[in-house]
Chains A and B, each alone.
Chain A
């Protein structure tokens, strides 16, 4: 009866490290998942994320981004990476009609502080994961605190990755399951740490939605859109519906809603 296995599963390997203040898992799958080259690439990915953290951490008082936020360093002097991210933050603010804003209100309403954390994570993870694209015969996913960049080679007869979407009302359960072979999945929520997403208009956490998951070709944009949708609240469904190439799933205390492009099953409640 052990012969019932349809196809032999491809070899898998996983790594977990704490980087950028969160657990980051990398999973490889395929005939060369256990190769030395694969392990070297994975080490590069972690090194790259750690170096991004040195520059962008708002928890390190002397990081370039902290210095910019404190007004001690001009954006123009903060380095190419910071400027690139600042420009993307501006684009994100435009694309979300201000629902995503890296310039948050501070204690003094006249002064806004620069905090690009909401975009940096997706930006860094998507960029770092691209290093794994170059590995032949290896599928990958990188899960950074619940936000996932992934790739699977369907042409090599390997299945897509199956991604479970956690139920923020009961993290032991899933609200939906997606099968994806490329792109990213990002979930923003108020479930665990309380308000780590702030409404730029009020400086307070949004309340009506428990979590928003967005999937699409870019993890960074999926993450930005998920954050913006969480800020928008229930009205976000219509807004997400209009985003080309992206689909969303909204979980509130009352139930679960998805855009028409959502590829996974959604429970009736």
Chain B
């Protein structure tokens, strides 16, 4: 079966990681949960096992630090997902959470090998970061909209969702 070219994929894997994030479990009293990996998706399940670890600051942290202790008001902290080794390169996503709400999301590591990658990252990553922050809309399965045309497809959120499960 002929599939649409996979030229844009490098970042999209970054997008996917964000979509796979379950916001509902981040509510009051909730525990941390998957930042990375989608079932049967791009990432190899064995290398992308979700293992987010809260740290007070971004940057280096010990692996497998003790589990977060979410306060009744909701967890706060910076959550960095495991590095997912996708076939296009490693992708790692970091979320900043204040009282159970995502206030910032960014890819701290993503494929940067080529000009094309960088070009794609420059628009695709901000799009999804903003999306997650604005709508807290983890776990969207599909997008209905008028821009999912041939021309708009690669920039559409739907294309990220498709890529997640191809």
| Interface residues in chain A, defined as those with a beta carbon under 8 Å from any beta carbon in chain B | 1-2, 4-6, 8-18, 21-23, 25, 27, 33-34, 42-43, 46, 141, 143, 145-148, 150, 161-166, 168, 171-174, 177, 185-193, 211, 213
Contacts and interface: CB of A to CB of B under 8 A. Distances in A.
A246 to B, nearest CB: 14
Interface in B139-166: 139-153, 155-159, 161-162, 164-166
Contacts of B156: 166, 171
A25 B1 contact: no
Nearest to B129: A172
Q: Which of B1, B141, B147, B148 gathers most chain A CB within 10 Å?
A: B141
A232 B156 CA distance: 27
Given A18-B150, A25-B158, A187 B1 contact: no
Given A13-B40, A164-B143, 10 more contacts: A4-B32, A14-B161, A15-B1, A16-B3, A23-B150, A27-B141, A166-B146, A171-B152, A173-B130, A187-B144
10 contacts: A4-B25, A12-B39, A25-B142, A27-B162, A146-B158, A166-B147, A168-B146, A171-B145, A172-B131, A177-B140
B83 interface: no
B83 to A, nearest CB: 15
A110 to B, nearest CB: 32
Interface of B: 1-4, 25, 31-34, 38-41, 49-53, 67-68, 127-128, 130-131, 134-135, 137, 139-153, 155-159, 161-162, 164-166
A19 B23 CA distance: 34
B1 A46 contact: yes
Main SS at interface, chain B: loop
Contact of B68 (A1, A148, A166): A1
A145 B141 contact: no
B33 A5 contact: yes
Contacts of A162: 139-142
A168 B147 contact: yes
B148 A12 contact: no
Q: Which of B144, B151, B156, B164 gathers most chain A CB within 10 Å?
A: B144
Given A1-B51, A12-B40, A146-B158, A191 B147 contact: yes
Contacts of A18: 4, 150
B145 A14 contact: no
A10 B31 contact: no
Given A12-B41, A193-B149, A143 B131 contact: no
Nearest to B123: A172
A173 B134 contact: yes
Given A11-B40, A174-B135, A147 B144 contact: yes
A1 B3 CA distance: 37
A143 B39 CA distance: 20
